[in-house]
Amino acid sequence: MKKSIGMKSSYALTAKSVDYEITKKSAGNFALGHESKSGLFVVEYYGRSDTDLNSEVKNWIDKYKRFKFFYASSPKSAFVKECKNYHAFDKNKIANKSHPQKPENTDYVCPYCK
């Protein structure tokens, strides 16, 4: 079964492309990876920003080829989505090996941990 991270098109991971696509200063989620030979986006890493999605995605330029993103309504929403992705993806096929950290100075808990 294919995993979906709920994000649409992927874009080249360059400063110009990030600035063009991520225009709001906002919390949000992102996925990084590459495009397969058949044109599918292959997720290699996913993450979040609690305050500035554009800046966070730019930190990964030259490490990955493409990105997807999703604006979040709040840092908590971004954290919950990142937790959902952590629990959904096969840890052997993705760079994320440890559970997402909660935003600083919060008491948020992962709703997917049992």
Per-residue confidence (pLDDT) for residue 1, from 0 to 100: 37
Instruction: For 3-62, write each residue's pLDDT tens digit.
Output: 555 566 899 999 999 999 999 999 999 999 999 999 899 999 999 999 999 999 999 999
> What is the pLDDT confidence band of residue 64, given thresholds at 50, 70 and 90?
very high
Per-residue confidence (pLDDT) for residue 114, from 0 to 100: 74
Compute the distance between CA of residue 96 and CA of residue 41 in angstroms, rounded to an integer: 17
* pLDDT over 60 (residue 80): yes
Phi-psi sector, 51: left (phi>0), alpha (psi -120 to 50), beta: alpha
Domain count, the chain: 1
**Domain assignment of residue 32, given as a range:** 1-114
> What is the pLDDT confidence band of residue 92, given thresholds at 50, 70 and 90?
confident
Per-residue confidence (pLDDT) for residue 91, from 0 to 100: 83
Residues 6+ apart with CB under 8 A from 84: 112
Per-residue confidence (pLDDT) for residue 7, from 0 to 100: 62
